[in-house]
Amino acid sequence: MANSNKNVDLDDPLSLSDIEYKNLTGFTRTQHDRVLSYIPASALKTSINRSPRCAIACLLMKLRLALSNSVLASMLGIDNKRKVTDIIHSTSAALVKYFVLHYLGLAHINREEIIKKHTSSIATRLLTENRNPCILVPDGTYLYIQVQLSFYIGFATWIFSFHEQKIRNNQMQPKTFNLPKNRSLINDNDASILKHIMINNYDDILQWVEENDIMILDRGFRDSLGVLKSLGIDVAMPSFLGPKQNQSDVQDANNYRFVTILRWVVESVNARIKRFKWFNQVIPNSSLPSVQDFICIVAALLNCFHVSMVTPSPNDDETIRRMNYLRTQNNTLQIFLIDYNLTRNSIWNVIGIHNLVQRFPKLSMVDLRMITLGVYQMKRVRSYAEEHADSIDLTDPNLEFSIQSCTDTNAHDIIRIRFQSVHKKSTGIWFLGYERHQLETNQPPSSTNFANLHYCDSISDYEDSSDEDNDARYSYTR
């Protein structure tokens, strides 16, 4: 008989609305029913403390809200926190044994499904040259722990992107392959972990990938290129700067964009996991043995219930057309700055946003997405702008947003902004052209000024724009 003395009664279908149920557990009652259908009655038995539904909800509330076992005991009408601990352990074991294997790992999904349902048309058309390979995006995120340990806990999160895991400087970096628990990765980097996975054929990955499949990598994986190429795997990765080179040339910078526009899925995967607050806190050492099971359970649940991050957009064709066109264009503004020796710090003065020589054009979100060629950068610019302005009220008419104007007579209508973020161009354009106008009556952008923003297309968001000033970004306001 289940305990009826509960502050939160998850067994009563009328006690909680669907919204309340999802707020507590991260999933709807219907989704909860589906998870329960995988668990045999013998694996989670009804007791005086909880029913199978309550047991699963207890674990999900722990992960979703990062509640202490004492608080969970009070909410669910359980005598003490030790019983909550037992419920969490038995529930996680049942889910790992009967549910996780259906939605996690290379065996749970085939190549054809990845290609058809989890590969964007942009990625296919930009990278594959009319081929039909599987495109994979390896990367990871960090979980914070109390102290640095000398052992390794392996786990998997496999959602059309990889994750590995390492512990270093009190940070545990989750990535997608199960490794032996006695393998220490304290001194390993992304490249060495990926090489170890491929060479040792973890999760039978070599039987899953095929020749000419593509991995989209960041530069941290550079030392794994030899192994990947020897296995016949193609790699898309930003190039490196040459000797005495502070800035990529136009072609390399544009090729870099072809990689970064496709790597946003990694951040989205990590963000979905971190919505479960248990992973977004400092994890106590006593909980480390549970990390593997917990991350597997959450990853499997996300794979099972969350919609695909890759959905066709009406703007895909235009995005691909513009990227292919801009890929071959010269950086007109950069050439102008170099020809007139305008990268010297001495010819730039700090001004206020109301003292621009020319009014910066007002833009819509559609305009911004066409300029930045995507939505990922737009999701991050607010925090960068708030950091630059040292304020969260970006519509304040008295806001101090540092801008530099050129004093040279040949460039009085060019401005630059010194940011500490990777998406520097996007942040400046978003603030100057959109965000600071949000309290005003919406007006269409000036067609005359908007036409001059074509210069912004040729400035990389990720590479330095000046040999002498590595933190500045330039914009043409005429």
Tell me the per-residue pLDDT of 187-225, one tens digit each, with 9 for 90 and over: 567 888 889 889 999 888 999 999 999 999 988 898 999
Q: Is residue 164 a contact partner of residue 177, using CB atoms and an 8 Å limit?
A: yes
Task: Pick the range with the lowest mean pLDDT from 147-156, 346-355, 446-455.
Answer: 446-455
Nearest partner of 278 among 32, 49, 58, judged by Cα: 58
Same domain, yes or no: 112 and 94: no
- Residues 11-27: what's their mean pLDDT? 90
Three-state secondary structure call for residue 205: helix
Do the domain assignments include residue 62?
A: yes
Long-range contact set of residues 28-37: C-beta below 8 Å, sequence gap at least 24: 31/304, 31/305, 32/56, 32/57, 34/304, 35/95, 35/99, 35/301, 35/304
Three-state secondary structure call for residue 416: strand
User: What distances in angstroms separate CA 146 from CA 143, 149, 415, one per listed residue?
Assistant: 10, 9, 46
Same domain, yes or no: 77 and 147: no
pTM, whole model, 2 decimals? Answer: 0.73
Q: How many domains does the chain have?
A: 3
Do the domain assignments include residue 318?
A: no
- CA–CA gap between residue 236 and residue 267 (Å, rounded): 17
Q: Residue 424: what pLDDT?
A: 66
Do the domain assignments include residue 1?
A: no
Give the length of the chain.
Answer: 478
Q: Is residue 282 a contact partner of residue 144, using CB atoms and an 8 Å limit?
A: yes
Do the domain assignments include residue 410?
A: yes
Q: Residue 161: what pLDDT?
A: 39
Same domain, yes or no: 34 and 121: no
Q: Which domain holds residue 235?
A: 108-305
Q: Residue 300: what pLDDT?
A: 93
Q: Residue 178: what pLDDT?
A: 39
- Exposed / middle / buried, residue 302 (Cβ in 10 Å: 0-12, 13-18, 19+): buried
Do the domain assignments include residue 402?
A: yes
Same domain, yes or no: 50 and 142: no
Q: Residue 369: what pLDDT?
A: 79
Q: Residue 328: what pLDDT?
A: 81
Task: Pick the range with the lowest mean pLDDT from 29-43, 88-102, 464-478.
Answer: 464-478
Same domain, yes or no: 378 and 296: no
- Residues 278-291: what's their mean pLDDT? 90
Q: Is residue 72 a contact partner of residue 62, using CB atoms and an 8 Å limit?
A: yes
Which residues are CB-neighbours of 323 under 8 A, at least 6 positions away? 126, 257, 258, 261, 373
Q: Residue 180: what pLDDT?
A: 38
- Exposed / middle / buried, residue 126 (Cβ in 10 Å: 0-12, 13-18, 19+): buried
Domain end point (choices 74, 98, 122): 98
Nearest partner of 165 among 6, 294, 8, judged by Cα: 294
Same domain, yes or no: 275 and 150: yes
Same domain, yes or no: 275 and 350: no
Q: Residue 459: what pLDDT?
A: 34
Do the domain assignments include residue 323?
A: no
Same domain, yes or no: 126 and 264: yes
